[in-house]
Structure 1
Amino acid sequence: MALGLRVASFNIRTSRGQDGRNSWLFRRRACLDAIRLLDADVVGLQEVRPVALRSVHRAFGGAAVPGRGRDADGGGEHVPVLVLDRRWTVESSETRWLSPTPQRPGSRGWDAALPRIVTVVRLRHDDVAIGVINTHFDHRGGEARRESARLVVEWTSAEPQRHWVVLGDLNAVPGSPPLRTLTDAGFHDALAGVEGGTHHAFTGATDRTRIDHVFVSPAWSVAAAEIRHDRPRGRLPSDHWPVVADLVLGV
Protein backbone atom coordinates (compact mmCIF):
# COMPACT_ATOMS: atom_id res chain seq x y z
CA MET A 1 0.00 0.00 0.00
CA ALA A 2 1.30 3.46 -0.88
CA LEU A 3 0.28 6.65 0.90
CA GLY A 4 0.43 9.92 -1.01
CA LEU A 5 1.04 13.35 0.47
CA ARG A 6 1.22 16.68 -1.33
CA VAL A 7 3.29 19.23 0.56
CA ALA A 8 4.17 22.84 -0.17
CA SER A 9 6.33 25.63 1.20
CA PHE A 10 5.41 29.27 0.70
CA ASN A 11 6.98 32.45 2.06
CA ILE A 12 4.00 34.80 1.93
CA ARG A 13 6.02 37.97 2.69
CA THR A 14 5.53 39.87 5.92
CA SER A 15 2.34 41.87 6.22
CA ARG A 16 4.44 44.70 7.65
CA GLY A 17 6.43 45.16 4.45
CA GLN A 18 6.55 48.63 2.91
CA ASP A 19 5.69 47.24 -0.49
CA GLY A 20 3.43 49.86 -2.04
CA ARG A 21 0.88 48.24 -4.35
CA ASN A 22 2.22 44.85 -3.25
CA SER A 23 1.44 45.48 0.41
CA TRP A 24 -0.54 42.82 2.26
CA LEU A 25 -3.75 44.84 2.17
CA PHE A 26 -3.77 44.73 -1.64
CA ARG A 27 -2.56 41.17 -2.22
CA ARG A 28 -4.17 39.36 0.74
CA ARG A 29 -6.92 37.68 -1.30
CA ALA A 30 -4.49 36.73 -4.06
CA CYS A 31 -2.14 35.18 -1.52
CA LEU A 32 -4.90 33.13 0.11
CA ASP A 33 -6.10 32.04 -3.35
CA ALA A 34 -2.54 31.02 -4.22
CA ILE A 35 -2.44 28.79 -1.16
CA ARG A 36 -5.72 27.16 -2.24
CA LEU A 37 -4.40 26.61 -5.76
CA LEU A 38 -1.49 24.59 -4.39
CA ASP A 39 -4.08 21.91 -3.56
CA ALA A 40 -1.70 20.62 -0.90
CA ASP A 41 -2.39 18.43 2.11
CA VAL A 42 0.21 20.19 4.25
CA VAL A 43 1.63 23.68 3.68
CA GLY A 44 4.51 25.29 5.52
CA LEU A 45 4.15 29.08 5.54
CA GLN A 46 6.83 31.61 6.42
CA GLU A 47 6.81 35.31 7.35
CA VAL A 48 3.31 35.00 8.75
CA ARG A 49 2.76 37.87 11.15
CA PRO A 50 -0.37 38.08 13.35
CA VAL A 51 -2.40 40.12 10.84
CA ALA A 52 -1.79 37.56 8.09
CA LEU A 53 -2.25 34.66 10.49
CA ARG A 54 -5.77 35.86 11.29
CA SER A 55 -6.50 35.90 7.55
CA VAL A 56 -5.22 32.33 7.22
CA HIS A 57 -7.40 31.16 10.10
CA ARG A 58 -10.47 32.79 8.57
CA ALA A 59 -9.79 31.42 5.09
CA PHE A 60 -9.02 27.87 6.24
CA GLY A 61 -11.26 27.62 9.27
CA GLY A 62 -11.44 23.83 9.35
CA ALA A 63 -7.69 23.32 9.22
CA ALA A 64 -5.20 22.88 12.02
CA VAL A 65 -2.62 25.70 11.99
CA PRO A 66 -0.07 24.90 14.72
CA GLY A 67 2.85 27.22 15.46
CA ARG A 68 3.62 30.24 17.67
CA GLY A 69 5.53 33.45 17.02
CA ARG A 70 9.29 33.81 17.31
CA ASP A 71 9.28 36.68 19.82
CA ALA A 72 9.56 36.00 23.54
CA ASP A 73 5.89 36.91 24.04
CA GLY A 74 4.70 34.62 21.25
CA GLY A 75 4.21 37.41 18.74
CA GLY A 76 6.16 38.36 15.65
CA GLU A 77 6.76 36.11 12.69
CA HIS A 78 5.12 32.68 12.76
CA VAL A 79 6.08 29.70 10.61
CA PRO A 80 2.83 27.75 10.91
CA VAL A 81 2.05 24.38 9.38
CA LEU A 82 -1.31 24.41 7.64
CA VAL A 83 -2.78 20.89 7.81
CA LEU A 84 -5.53 20.82 5.20
CA ASP A 85 -6.01 17.07 4.76
CA ARG A 86 -8.25 15.90 7.59
CA ARG A 87 -7.03 12.32 7.26
CA TRP A 88 -4.05 13.48 9.30
CA THR A 89 -4.43 13.98 13.03
CA VAL A 90 -2.09 16.39 14.80
CA GLU A 91 -0.60 14.32 17.61
CA SER A 92 1.51 17.17 18.95
CA SER A 93 3.27 20.35 17.91
CA GLU A 94 5.85 22.69 19.36
CA THR A 95 7.97 25.70 18.50
CA ARG A 96 11.73 25.61 18.99
CA TRP A 97 14.22 28.41 18.57
CA LEU A 98 17.20 28.04 16.27
CA SER A 99 19.78 28.89 18.89
CA PRO A 100 21.99 27.17 21.46
CA THR A 101 18.95 27.44 23.80
CA PRO A 102 16.07 26.12 21.64
CA GLN A 103 13.56 26.10 24.49
CA ARG A 104 14.10 29.74 25.41
CA PRO A 105 11.50 31.91 23.66
CA GLY A 106 12.96 34.77 21.68
CA SER A 107 16.53 33.46 21.76
CA ARG A 108 18.76 34.40 18.83
CA GLY A 109 21.46 32.03 17.64
CA TRP A 110 25.05 32.56 16.53
CA ASP A 111 25.40 35.36 13.94
CA ALA A 112 21.68 35.53 13.11
CA ALA A 113 20.17 38.95 12.57
CA LEU A 114 16.86 37.89 14.13
CA PRO A 115 15.39 35.14 16.30
CA ARG A 116 14.51 32.19 14.09
CA ILE A 117 12.22 29.26 14.80
CA VAL A 118 10.98 25.90 13.64
CA THR A 119 7.48 24.54 14.02
CA VAL A 120 7.58 20.81 14.67
CA VAL A 121 4.34 18.96 13.95
CA ARG A 122 3.75 15.24 14.48
CA LEU A 123 0.97 13.79 12.35
CA ARG A 124 -0.71 10.39 12.24
CA HIS A 125 -2.92 8.66 9.68
CA ASP A 126 -4.04 5.24 10.89
CA ASP A 127 -0.77 3.54 11.83
CA VAL A 128 1.48 5.89 9.86
CA ALA A 129 3.44 8.49 11.85
CA ILE A 130 5.15 11.37 10.08
CA GLY A 131 6.83 14.54 11.21
CA VAL A 132 6.84 17.95 9.57
CA ILE A 133 9.34 20.69 10.28
CA ASN A 134 8.65 24.14 8.89
CA THR A 135 11.25 26.86 9.26
CA HIS A 136 12.77 30.10 8.02
CA PHE A 137 16.56 30.22 8.33
CA ASP A 138 18.28 33.53 8.92
CA HIS A 139 18.94 35.75 5.91
CA ARG A 140 22.25 37.15 7.16
CA GLY A 141 24.11 34.66 9.36
CA GLY A 142 26.01 31.95 7.53
CA GLU A 143 26.97 30.23 10.77
CA ALA A 144 23.37 30.46 11.94
CA ARG A 145 22.13 28.71 8.80
CA ARG A 146 24.69 25.92 9.18
CA GLU A 147 23.90 25.45 12.85
CA SER A 148 20.17 25.58 12.14
CA ALA A 149 20.51 22.73 9.65
CA ARG A 150 22.51 20.79 12.22
CA LEU A 151 19.71 21.23 14.77
CA VAL A 152 17.10 20.02 12.27
CA VAL A 153 19.18 16.88 11.70
CA GLU A 154 19.62 16.39 15.44
CA TRP A 155 15.92 16.74 16.19
CA THR A 156 14.70 14.49 13.40
CA SER A 157 17.33 11.86 14.21
CA ALA A 158 15.96 11.72 17.75
CA GLU A 159 12.64 10.41 16.36
CA PRO A 160 13.67 7.87 13.72
CA GLN A 161 10.29 6.13 13.85
CA ARG A 162 8.75 9.09 12.02
CA HIS A 163 9.05 9.81 8.32
CA TRP A 164 10.17 13.43 8.13
CA VAL A 165 9.42 16.29 5.77
CA VAL A 166 11.34 19.56 6.10
CA LEU A 167 9.74 22.65 4.57
CA GLY A 168 10.97 26.20 4.49
CA ASP A 169 12.67 29.27 3.22
CA LEU A 170 16.20 28.22 4.10
CA ASN A 171 17.88 31.30 2.60
CA ALA A 172 20.32 28.88 1.02
CA VAL A 173 20.74 27.65 -2.55
CA PRO A 174 21.11 23.99 -3.59
CA GLY A 175 24.56 22.66 -2.80
CA SER A 176 25.32 25.25 -0.12
CA PRO A 177 26.71 24.15 3.28
CA PRO A 178 23.39 24.16 5.19
CA LEU A 179 21.72 22.03 2.55
CA ARG A 180 24.70 19.68 2.39
CA THR A 181 24.21 19.14 6.12
CA LEU A 182 20.72 17.87 5.38
CA THR A 183 21.68 15.68 2.43
CA ASP A 184 24.71 14.27 4.28
CA ALA A 185 22.26 13.15 6.97
CA GLY A 186 20.17 11.26 4.40
CA PHE A 187 17.56 13.84 3.42
CA HIS A 188 16.67 14.19 -0.26
CA ASP A 189 15.98 17.45 -2.04
CA ALA A 190 12.49 16.89 -3.45
CA LEU A 191 13.03 19.60 -6.07
CA ALA A 192 16.41 18.37 -7.27
CA GLY A 193 16.61 19.00 -11.01
CA VAL A 194 13.75 21.50 -11.05
CA GLU A 195 14.83 24.59 -12.96
CA GLY A 196 14.19 28.14 -11.84
CA GLY A 197 14.24 30.32 -8.76
CA THR A 198 11.77 31.12 -6.02
CA HIS A 199 12.69 34.55 -4.66
CA HIS A 200 11.77 37.32 -7.10
CA ALA A 201 11.30 40.50 -4.98
CA PHE A 202 7.92 41.26 -6.58
CA THR A 203 9.39 41.28 -10.09
CA GLY A 204 7.72 38.04 -11.17
CA ALA A 205 11.10 36.71 -12.34
CA THR A 206 11.37 32.93 -12.50
CA ASP A 207 15.11 32.56 -13.05
CA ARG A 208 16.55 33.81 -9.77
CA THR A 209 17.86 31.71 -6.89
CA ARG A 210 15.91 28.87 -5.32
CA ILE A 211 15.96 29.34 -1.57
CA ASP A 212 12.61 27.67 -0.78
CA HIS A 213 12.80 23.94 -0.26
CA VAL A 214 11.24 20.58 0.49
CA PHE A 215 13.53 17.92 1.96
CA VAL A 216 12.36 14.40 2.79
CA SER A 217 13.74 11.47 4.73
CA PRO A 218 14.67 8.30 2.79
CA ALA A 219 11.35 6.43 3.11
CA TRP A 220 9.62 9.01 0.92
CA SER A 221 9.76 8.90 -2.85
CA VAL A 222 9.05 11.98 -4.95
CA ALA A 223 6.44 11.51 -7.65
CA ALA A 224 6.53 15.11 -8.88
CA ALA A 225 7.74 18.53 -7.80
CA GLU A 226 7.49 22.05 -9.16
CA ILE A 227 7.77 25.77 -8.53
CA ARG A 228 4.34 27.34 -8.92
CA HIS A 229 3.80 30.68 -10.68
CA ASP A 230 0.12 31.32 -10.05
CA ARG A 231 -1.08 34.93 -10.13
CA PRO A 232 -4.61 34.87 -8.72
CA ARG A 233 -6.68 37.94 -9.56
CA GLY A 234 -3.78 38.99 -11.80
CA ARG A 235 -1.58 39.80 -8.80
CA LEU A 236 1.73 38.52 -7.48
CA PRO A 237 0.74 36.79 -4.24
CA SER A 238 4.16 37.25 -2.61
CA ASP A 239 7.78 38.09 -3.33
CA HIS A 240 8.47 34.33 -3.42
CA TRP A 241 7.06 31.58 -5.60
CA PRO A 242 5.81 28.55 -3.65
CA VAL A 243 7.23 25.06 -4.13
CA VAL A 244 5.15 21.86 -4.21
CA ALA A 245 6.07 18.19 -4.03
CA ASP A 246 3.96 15.06 -4.42
CA LEU A 247 5.37 12.44 -2.07
CA VAL A 248 4.69 8.73 -1.78
CA LEU A 249 5.32 6.61 1.28
CA GLY A 250 5.28 2.83 1.05
CA VAL A 251 3.41 1.51 4.09
Structure 2
Amino acid sequence: MKIRVATFNIRNSSAPDGDNAWPVRRNATVAAIEELDADVVGLQEVLPDQLEYLRWRFSRYEIVGVGRDDGMSAGEHSVVLVRPGDWKVETHETRWLSDDPGTPGSVGWDADLTRIATLVWLRHLNGTTIGIANTHYDHAGEVAQLQSSRLIARWVGGGLPWIVMGDLNATPDSPPLKALTSAGLRNAVPVEAGGSWHDFTGAEDDDRIDHILITENWKVVDAAVSHFRPGGRLPSDHWPVVATLDLG
Protein backbone atom coordinates (compact mmCIF):
# COMPACT_ATOMS: atom_id res chain seq x y z
CA MET A 1 0.00 0.00 0.00
CA LYS A 2 1.91 3.00 -1.30
CA ILE A 3 1.45 6.74 -0.96
CA ARG A 4 3.49 9.56 -2.46
CA VAL A 5 3.68 12.68 -0.29
CA ALA A 6 5.32 16.07 -0.64
CA THR A 7 5.86 19.24 1.35
CA PHE A 8 6.28 22.65 -0.24
CA ASN A 9 6.51 26.16 1.18
CA ILE A 10 5.07 28.20 -1.69
CA ARG A 11 6.02 31.64 -0.26
CA ASN A 12 3.20 33.97 0.72
CA SER A 13 1.71 36.34 -1.82
CA SER A 14 2.19 39.46 0.32
CA ALA A 15 5.99 39.30 0.22
CA PRO A 16 7.71 42.06 -1.80
CA ASP A 17 9.51 39.66 -4.13
CA GLY A 18 9.68 41.74 -7.30
CA ASP A 19 10.29 39.48 -10.30
CA ASN A 20 9.52 36.49 -8.07
CA ALA A 21 6.21 37.83 -6.75
CA TRP A 22 3.26 35.44 -6.60
CA PRO A 23 1.39 36.74 -9.69
CA VAL A 24 4.54 36.20 -11.78
CA ARG A 25 5.34 32.69 -10.59
CA ARG A 26 1.99 31.16 -9.65
CA ASN A 27 1.76 29.13 -12.85
CA ALA A 28 5.25 27.79 -12.12
CA THR A 29 4.19 26.94 -8.58
CA VAL A 30 1.26 24.91 -9.87
CA ALA A 31 3.49 23.20 -12.44
CA ALA A 32 6.00 22.32 -9.73
CA ILE A 33 3.24 20.77 -7.60
CA GLU A 34 1.97 18.79 -10.60
CA GLU A 35 5.50 17.57 -11.35
CA LEU A 36 5.71 16.01 -7.89
CA ASP A 37 2.99 13.54 -8.91
CA ALA A 38 2.04 13.19 -5.24
CA ASP A 39 -1.11 11.77 -3.68
CA VAL A 40 -0.82 14.19 -0.77
CA VAL A 41 0.86 17.61 -0.72
CA GLY A 42 1.34 19.76 2.36
CA LEU A 43 1.73 23.45 1.54
CA GLN A 44 2.84 26.27 3.82
CA GLU A 45 2.49 30.08 3.73
CA VAL A 46 -0.74 29.90 1.76
CA LEU A 47 -2.67 33.18 2.01
CA PRO A 48 -6.40 33.39 1.15
CA ASP A 49 -5.85 34.67 -2.41
CA GLN A 50 -3.38 31.85 -3.05
CA LEU A 51 -5.79 29.30 -1.63
CA GLU A 52 -8.52 30.55 -3.93
CA TYR A 53 -6.20 30.16 -6.91
CA LEU A 54 -5.11 26.69 -5.84
CA ARG A 55 -8.71 25.57 -5.35
CA TRP A 56 -9.38 26.64 -8.93
CA ARG A 57 -6.27 24.97 -10.38
CA PHE A 58 -6.71 21.77 -8.33
CA SER A 59 -10.49 21.69 -8.43
CA ARG A 60 -10.73 17.89 -8.23
CA TYR A 61 -8.55 17.66 -5.11
CA GLU A 62 -9.72 17.65 -1.52
CA ILE A 63 -8.06 20.70 0.08
CA VAL A 64 -8.27 21.14 3.85
CA GLY A 65 -6.85 23.58 6.38
CA VAL A 66 -7.79 26.87 8.04
CA GLY A 67 -6.18 30.25 8.56
CA ARG A 68 -3.84 30.54 11.51
CA ASP A 69 -5.09 33.95 12.65
CA ASP A 70 -8.71 33.07 13.37
CA GLY A 71 -9.20 29.37 12.70
CA MET A 72 -11.25 30.20 9.66
CA SER A 73 -9.88 32.12 6.69
CA ALA A 74 -7.53 34.82 8.01
CA GLY A 75 -3.77 34.60 7.70
CA GLU A 76 -1.49 31.91 6.41
CA HIS A 77 -2.78 28.36 5.95
CA SER A 78 -0.88 25.08 6.09
CA VAL A 79 -3.20 23.28 3.73
CA VAL A 80 -3.19 19.64 2.69
CA LEU A 81 -4.08 18.67 -0.88
CA VAL A 82 -5.32 15.13 -1.50
CA ARG A 83 -5.42 13.91 -5.07
CA PRO A 84 -8.44 11.91 -6.25
CA GLY A 85 -7.64 8.23 -5.91
CA ASP A 86 -7.27 5.57 -3.23
CA TRP A 87 -7.04 7.96 -0.27
CA LYS A 88 -9.91 10.09 1.06
CA VAL A 89 -10.07 12.62 3.88
CA GLU A 90 -11.81 11.04 6.85
CA THR A 91 -11.48 14.03 9.16
CA HIS A 92 -9.12 16.92 9.81
CA GLU A 93 -8.37 19.63 12.34
CA THR A 94 -5.96 22.49 12.90
CA ARG A 95 -4.00 22.88 16.11
CA TRP A 96 -1.92 25.84 17.24
CA LEU A 97 1.72 25.40 18.22
CA SER A 98 1.36 26.86 21.67
CA ASP A 99 0.50 25.96 25.26
CA ASP A 100 -3.14 26.35 24.17
CA PRO A 101 -3.38 24.38 20.90
CA GLY A 102 -7.14 24.75 20.62
CA THR A 103 -7.18 28.54 20.68
CA PRO A 104 -7.03 30.18 17.23
CA GLY A 105 -4.34 32.83 16.95
CA SER A 106 -2.43 31.72 20.03
CA VAL A 107 1.33 32.27 19.96
CA GLY A 108 3.64 29.80 21.64
CA TRP A 109 6.63 30.43 23.89
CA ASP A 110 9.19 32.74 22.25
CA ALA A 111 7.68 32.50 18.76
CA ASP A 112 7.56 35.61 16.63
CA LEU A 113 4.36 34.57 14.86
CA THR A 114 1.30 32.39 15.22
CA ARG A 115 2.09 28.86 14.03
CA ILE A 116 -0.12 25.88 13.26
CA ALA A 117 -0.26 22.23 12.31
CA THR A 118 -2.98 20.76 10.08
CA LEU A 119 -3.75 17.18 11.06
CA VAL A 120 -5.54 15.00 8.53
CA TRP A 121 -6.74 11.43 8.88
CA LEU A 122 -6.87 9.64 5.53
CA ARG A 123 -8.73 6.42 4.80
CA HIS A 124 -7.65 4.06 2.06
CA LEU A 125 -10.23 2.29 -0.07
CA ASN A 126 -9.36 -0.91 1.83
CA GLY A 127 -10.28 0.72 5.15
CA THR A 128 -6.78 1.50 6.45
CA THR A 129 -6.42 4.86 8.22
CA ILE A 130 -3.22 6.93 8.39
CA GLY A 131 -2.38 10.36 9.74
CA ILE A 132 -0.80 13.36 8.01
CA ALA A 133 0.58 16.33 9.96
CA ASN A 134 1.52 19.39 7.90
CA THR A 135 3.15 22.18 9.84
CA HIS A 136 5.24 25.35 9.72
CA TYR A 137 7.44 26.09 12.74
CA ASP A 138 8.44 29.57 13.83
CA HIS A 139 11.48 31.04 12.13
CA ALA A 140 12.90 32.79 15.18
CA GLY A 141 11.88 31.20 18.48
CA GLU A 142 14.24 28.36 19.37
CA VAL A 143 12.16 27.39 22.39
CA ALA A 144 9.04 27.45 20.24
CA GLN A 145 10.67 25.20 17.65
CA LEU A 146 11.64 22.63 20.27
CA GLN A 147 8.29 22.77 22.05
CA SER A 148 6.49 22.46 18.71
CA SER A 149 8.35 19.21 18.07
CA ARG A 150 7.34 17.92 21.48
CA LEU A 151 3.71 18.73 20.73
CA ILE A 152 3.84 17.05 17.33
CA ALA A 153 5.50 13.96 18.83
CA ARG A 154 2.65 13.65 21.33
CA TRP A 155 -0.02 14.12 18.70
CA VAL A 156 1.33 11.42 16.40
CA GLY A 157 1.96 8.81 19.08
CA GLY A 158 -0.19 5.75 19.61
CA GLY A 159 0.58 3.33 16.82
CA LEU A 160 -1.30 4.81 13.86
CA PRO A 161 0.94 5.24 10.80
CA TRP A 162 1.83 8.94 10.63
CA ILE A 163 3.62 11.18 8.17
CA VAL A 164 4.87 14.51 9.55
CA MET A 165 5.93 17.11 7.03
CA GLY A 166 6.48 20.79 6.64
CA ASP A 167 8.81 23.74 6.90
CA LEU A 168 10.36 23.24 10.32
CA ASN A 169 12.82 26.14 9.96
CA ALA A 170 15.42 23.78 11.40
CA THR A 171 18.16 21.58 9.95
CA PRO A 172 18.41 17.78 10.37
CA ASP A 173 20.98 18.02 13.18
CA SER A 174 19.07 20.65 15.19
CA PRO A 175 17.33 20.14 18.58
CA PRO A 176 13.80 20.34 17.06
CA LEU A 177 14.59 17.54 14.61
CA LYS A 178 16.36 15.48 17.24
CA ALA A 179 13.28 15.79 19.46
CA LEU A 180 11.19 14.24 16.69
CA THR A 181 13.62 11.45 15.89
CA SER A 182 14.14 10.62 19.56
CA ALA A 183 10.35 10.22 19.78
CA GLY A 184 10.47 7.49 17.14
CA LEU A 185 10.08 9.41 13.89
CA ARG A 186 12.70 9.12 11.17
CA ASN A 187 13.66 11.21 8.18
CA ALA A 188 12.35 9.87 4.89
CA VAL A 189 14.60 12.03 2.71
CA PRO A 190 18.39 11.66 3.10
CA VAL A 191 20.44 14.76 3.85
CA GLU A 192 22.54 14.20 0.73
CA ALA A 193 19.44 14.80 -1.42
CA GLY A 194 20.21 18.52 -1.21
CA GLY A 195 18.96 21.71 0.34
CA SER A 196 15.38 22.97 0.37
CA TRP A 197 15.77 26.67 1.20
CA HIS A 198 17.34 28.95 -1.40
CA ASP A 199 15.83 32.44 -1.00
CA PHE A 200 15.15 32.71 -4.76
CA THR A 201 18.81 32.08 -5.61
CA GLY A 202 18.15 28.62 -7.05
CA ALA A 203 20.89 27.12 -4.87
CA GLU A 204 20.56 23.37 -4.40
CA ASP A 205 23.02 22.99 -1.52
CA ASP A 206 21.68 25.45 1.08
CA ASP A 207 19.98 24.44 4.35
CA ARG A 208 17.47 21.60 4.47
CA ILE A 209 14.66 23.01 6.58
CA ASP A 210 11.74 21.26 4.87
CA HIS A 211 11.25 17.69 6.03
CA ILE A 212 9.20 14.52 5.75
CA LEU A 213 9.33 12.33 8.85
CA ILE A 214 7.61 8.98 9.26
CA THR A 215 6.69 6.49 11.96
CA GLU A 216 8.22 3.03 11.99
CA ASN A 217 5.28 1.53 10.06
CA TRP A 218 6.55 3.00 6.79
CA LYS A 219 9.17 1.84 4.31
CA VAL A 220 10.77 4.47 2.05
CA VAL A 221 10.58 3.51 -1.62
CA ASP A 222 12.19 6.70 -2.95
CA ALA A 223 12.74 10.24 -1.73
CA ALA A 224 14.18 13.46 -3.13
CA VAL A 225 14.30 17.23 -3.13
CA SER A 226 12.75 18.48 -6.37
CA HIS A 227 14.79 21.16 -8.13
CA PHE A 228 12.33 21.48 -11.01
CA ARG A 229 12.10 24.95 -12.58
CA PRO A 230 9.03 25.13 -14.83
CA GLY A 231 9.99 27.18 -17.87
CA GLY A 232 13.15 28.21 -16.04
CA ARG A 233 11.09 29.99 -13.37
CA LEU A 234 11.72 29.42 -9.65
CA PRO A 235 8.36 28.31 -8.21
CA SER A 236 9.16 29.51 -4.67
CA ASP A 237 12.03 30.41 -2.36
CA HIS A 238 11.96 26.77 -1.18
CA TRP A 239 12.31 23.53 -3.12
CA PRO A 240 9.64 20.88 -2.59
CA VAL A 241 10.56 17.66 -0.78
CA VAL A 242 8.89 14.43 -1.88
CA ALA A 243 8.83 10.75 -0.87
CA THR A 244 7.10 7.56 -1.94
CA LEU A 245 6.22 5.41 1.08
CA ASP A 246 4.97 1.86 1.46
CA LEU A 247 2.90 0.68 4.41
CA GLY A 248 3.60 -2.93 3.48
TM range (shorter): over 0.9
Segments of structure 1 that go 5 or more residues without pairing to the other structure are: none
Equivalenced residue count is 246
Tell me the C-alpha RMSD between the 2 structures.
Answer: 0.9
Matched, 1:105 2:92: no
**2: CA distance, partners of 1:122 / 1:198:** 26
Deviation >3 Å, runs of 4+: none
Residue 175 (structure 1) shift: 1.4
**1: CA distance, partners of 2:216 / 2:84:** 23
Segments of structure 2 that go 5 or more residues without pairing to the other structure are: none
Matched, 1:174 2:172: yes
**2: CA distance, partners of 1:70 / 1:136:** 11
User: Aligned ranges for residues 135-154 of structure 1 at < 5 Å?
Assistant: 135-154=135-154
Match of 1:117 in 2: 116
User: Aligned ranges for residues 148-167 of structure 1 at < 5 Å?
Assistant: 148-157=148-157, 160-167=158-165
TM-score when scaled to structure 1?
A: 0.96
In the alignment, is the contact (CA less than 8 A) between 1:130 and 1:162 conserved in 2?
yes
Residue 188 (structure 1) shift: 0.8
In the alignment, is the contact (CA less than 8 A) between 1:187 and 1:216 conserved in 2?
yes
Match of 1:213 in 2: 211
1:6 alignment partner, SS class:
strand
Residue 233 (structure 1) shift: 2.2
Q: Name the CA shift for 1:161/1:129 in 2 (closer, same or farther; >3 Å).
A: farther
**1: CA distance, partners of 2:127 / 2:94:** 25
Residue 193 (structure 1) shift: 3.9
Write out per-residue CA displacement over residues 114-152 of structure 1, whole angstroms, 9 at most, x where no aligned residue: 000000000011221100000000000000000000000
Residue 192 (structure 1) shift: 2.4
1:93 alignment partner, SS class:
strand
Amino acid of the structure 2 residue aligned with 1:169: D
Amino acid of the structure 1 residue aligned with 2:111: A
Amino acid of the structure 1 residue aligned with 2:19: R
**2: CA distance, partners of 1:192 / 1:118:** 23
Amino acid of the structure 2 residue aligned with 1:143: V
**2: CA distance, partners of 1:233 / 1:23:** 16
1:45 alignment partner, SS class:
strand
Q: Name the CA shift for 1:248/1:103 in 2 (closer, same or farther; >3 Å).
A: same
In the alignment, is the contact (CA less than 8 A) between 1:194 and 1:225 conserved in 2?
no
Match of 2:128 in 1: 128
Write out per-residue CA displacement over residues 217-249 of structure 1, whole angstroms, 9 at most, x where no aligned residue: 001011111110111122100000000111011
**1: CA distance, partners of 2:222 / 2:11:** 26
**1: CA distance, partners of 2:39 / 2:90:** 16
TM-score when scaled to structure 2?
A: 0.97
